Structure 1
Amino acid sequence: MTAVREALPENRYGRSADQRADRKLKIIGAVLGVVLLGVIGWIGYGYVAGKGLSAELIKFKVVSDERVEVHLEVRKDRDAQGYCTLRALREDSGEVARKDFRFDDDSSRIDRILTLRTTSRATAVELIGCTDDDGTPR
């Protein structure tokens, strides 16, 4: 008796549809992976390179009805110059002081205790923001 074949001989008629689909999916996955890595790199570079001047309000202390001491940490490029704006608020959220502080040091990290003179007793201090001398707000 003769044996009956039920399937076509392998690799005789080219790749199967499943193999072609698998190859397409692998190519699409690789392209999307490269695009995702590119976007992450672009965002990361913009975050790191875009920092000219930034600050963090560490703490504040109400010294009297007319004064508040603020501990501010500033991070900047060594050659960057600019200022940061602070404001003090009273209990009803009204502003009792606002002042710009310049940072022109050649250091990349500045830790400074600053004094705000207030018109009445402050209960909170807020860092409004920092601006490079080129006018870029941070």
Structure 2
Amino acid sequence: MSAVREQLPEGRYGRSADARADRKLKIVGAVLGVLGLGLVSWIGWDYVGGQKISAEVIKFKVVSDSAVEVHLEVRKDAAAQGYCTVRSQAENGAEVGRADFRFDQDTDRIDKVVTLRTTARGTSAELLGCHSD
């Protein structure tokens, strides 16, 4: 009795279609992986390194029906200049005040209390964002 072969002789008929397809899929996957990693790195660098001015509201105090005092802590590059936008809302959620406050000092950290004028009694103070010039 002779043994029956179930596979083709190796190397005789070239690479199979499955092996070529697997190689192509590996190449496409590697290229997409590198592109995805590059995109994530670029977005992260822009977020961390691209912001020249950032701030946070430390506290706020409603001083009257037409004003809210806001304590801001601003962090920036020493040479950076820009502004931060702050708003206040009434109890019903309507915006009653919004203003831009400039920060041009040659220092990297600024603690400042600013007064936001309002059209009605404000019950909150919110930092909307900071932008450099």
The offset of 1:31, in angstroms, is: 0.6
Cα deviation, 1:73-115, whole Å, max 9, x if unaligned, reads 22322211122232334445252x4443221233333333333
Unaligned runs of 5+ in 1: 134-138
Contact kept, 8 Å, 1:51 with 1:77, in 2: the verdict is: no
Residues 1:73 and 1:20: Cα distance change in structure 2 (over 3 Å): same
- Matched ranges for 1:1-138 at <5 A: 1-92=1-92, 93=94, 95=96, 97-118=97-118, 120-133=120-133
SS at match of 1:43: helix
Task: Give unmatched runs, 5+ long, in structure 2.
Answer: none
Of 14-23 and 65-74, deviating more is 65-74
Tell me the SS of whatever aligns to 2:39: helix
Normalised by the length of structure 2, the TM-score is: 0.75
Q: Distance in 1 between matches of 2:131 and 2:2?
A: 88
Cα pair distance change 1:105/1:6, threshold 3 Å: same
- Do the aligned partners of 2:87 and 2:95 also contact (CA within 8 Å) in 1? no
TM-score, normalised to structure 1, is 0.73
- The number of residue pairs the alignment matches comes to 132
Amino acid at match of 2:72: L
Identity %: 67
TM superposition shift of 1:36? 0.5
CA RMSD across the alignment:
2.6
Residue 44 (structure 1) shift: 1.7
